[in-house]
Amino acid sequence: MRAQQVTSGANAGGTGGRSPGASTAAGGPGGRPPGTGTAQTPTERTAGLLVRQAEACAALASPLYAGLLRHAADDLLAGGPTAAVLEGHLSDPGRSALALRMLGGVHALVLTGRAGELAAFYPSAGGSADAGPGAELAWPAMRRALADQVEWVRAWLERPPQTNEVGRGAALVGALCHIVAEADLPVRLVEIGASAGLNLRADLFRISGPGVAYGDESSPVQMAGGWLGQAPPVRWIDVVARTGGDLTPIDPLSADGELRLTAYVWPDQAERLRRLRGAIELAARIPAELRAEPASATVARAGLEPGCWTVLWHSIMHQYLDAEQAVAVDAGVAALAAAATAKARFAHVSLEFIKGTADTPVELVTWPGGASRRLGTAPPHGIPVTWS
């Protein structure tokens, strides 16, 4: 198989792909459904995207966000505060994950104490109040937060959602085990679309599953049940270099960086939040280089080193690449593949959506030789990985 291609777009920064659980299908929530022959207005189209994202949130176990987004869609159609917040963004492409940008801004309000009423419903801020069926009890508080903080939330619409999803590190670690089993060499780890670079420390995570465990039991990042199926061949992974690039990298050790990362975690998903906080703790201990640059530049500077694996990794970030970047990244991967030798090896690991399907496979290609393997699949948030 040829080098894995990054064929459709990523910002090379942020969550990319369909942002975790994002849906880009068009259609309105009771407005004009697709296929009726009647064009939708931009408002109806955007309300439809909010509903599609609500469905994705429900499927990924966030009933709070699922309910809030359905109410927000109705509020948008009614010309309420949601309409004021989203004004000027109704023609944004579906891949921009507008709903998640808005929700990130609202979550940041909660986390910074600017939406105390809503915080009562957000477990991430210590809230424990019942949001009610379809979040009907929480929605009035969110509606007031949108009305009171229009400009704050609008500022978050300009940022790509960057969860730096730590759960995806489970896929990377399994792939690294396969790589080291092929040739027991140190690893130079390179990530494009790295966000805050948290998964550049994935080798230090603790991941377990039926009959298998990887990593230090005392790791601050714990993924019990993170691996299912035919487990990878667990190996000691010696990472000797950690580097990544992103158009808008986040410093996870800064107050603003931690807020941004936390705000994009769905507030009723405590395990994701724990993983994030544990990964930030690791980042404080283990340095990694992170540059503000396009994906092609990260690939171009990766190079190969004798006596090492150079491993290029990316996850759920394809759709942010424009056509020029996609071609440049493909060319960079091909150049590294052509230069690989038995003494200076190269591997390409990806966790990306397959266009037109719900698949998110863990794929690995190694050089020299170009051996290609689909190792397993994982949900957008990363775990559990089901290994083939």
The Cβ of residue 151 has, within 10 Å, a number of other Cβ atoms equal to 8
pLDDT at position 380 is 86
104 in a structural domain: yes
Those residues of the chain that have pLDDT short of 50 are: 1-20, 24-36
Cα(359)–Cα(8) distance, integer angstroms = 15
Q: Per the structure, how many domains does the chain have?
A: 2
Amino acid at residue number 76: L
The reply to whether 224 and 344 lie within a common domain is yes
Q: CA-to-CA distance for 385 and 135, rounded, in angstroms?
A: 30
pLDDT of residue 353: 87
Q: Is residue 358 part of a domain?
A: yes
Identify the domain boundary among 136, 156, 176: 156
| pLDDT score at 260 | 96
Q: Which of 13, 92, 93, 102 is nearest to 57 (CA)?
A: 102
Please work out, in degrees rounded to the nearest 5, the angle formed at the alpha carbon of residue 379 by the alpha carbons of 9 and 172. Answer: 75
User: 107 is in which domain, residue-wise?
Assistant: 42-156
Q: Is the pTM of this model over 0.85?
A: yes
The answer to whether residue 26 sits within a structural domain is no
Q: What is the CATH number of the domain that holds 186?
A: 3.40.50
